[in-house]
Amino acid sequence: MLGDSLSASFGTALDQGWVSLLKQRLATEGLPHQVVNASISGDTTAGGRSRLPALLAAHEPAVVVIELGANDGLRGFPPKRIAAALTALVEEAQATGAQVLLIGVRLPPNYGTRYAEQFQRLYAEVAEDTGAALVPRLLAGVAEDRALMQADGLHPSAAAQPRLLENVWPVLLPLLQATARVSEAGG
């Protein structure tokens, strides 16, 4: 899991975050995967690109989940630059044979409609161009509900974490099942 504060459990206990809940779900479902949460609050696509090679070498993952780009967008980086960085991340993970899941986010409305729409589209474009699986919006059904957000309006509360997992699970599960079958077949 290569992500930012949304996956690093910012503002909540680490064991309450959606990535920790994913670990529990894998055990419940009897899937053999281990979860390495390499998410860092405040991380950008550039930070992810600098860390990814060592993470791939150290862990040899079957599935790589990339949830980055929000901090790039909050800094107003050009959408094409963010898309290029995400594409490089996806392709680098794919080059190792890993399945890749890209998780998108939306920006707050104060960034303007045009920029926010370009930003939101870039996730679908990167997924289409690279063949990565896509969860379009990690915070779907959460960001719209102030009761599920922390006071900063950017980060989900502990109560929202199960919903984040439910947003990711239907897209992640087929990747996990496919890689579990390959592992069982010895290859």
Superfamily holding 2-179: SGNH hydrolase (3.40.50.1110)
- Of 4, 9, 43, 155, which is the active-site residue? 155
| pLDDT tens readout for residues 115-173 | 999 999 999 999 999 999 999 999 999 999 999 999 999 999 999 999 999 999 999 99
| pLDDT tens readout for residues 33-67 | 999 999 999 999 999 999 999 999 999 999 999 99
- Of 4, 5, 7, 72, which is the active-site residue? 5
Q: Is 129 a catalytic residue?
A: no
Q: Is 59 a catalytic residue?
A: no
Q: Is 33 a catalytic residue?
A: no
Q: Where are the domains of the chain?
A: 2-179
If phi > 0 it is left, if psi is from -120 to 50 it is alpha, else beta; for residue 131 that is left
Q: What band does 111 get if pLDDT is binned at 50, 70 and 90?
A: confident
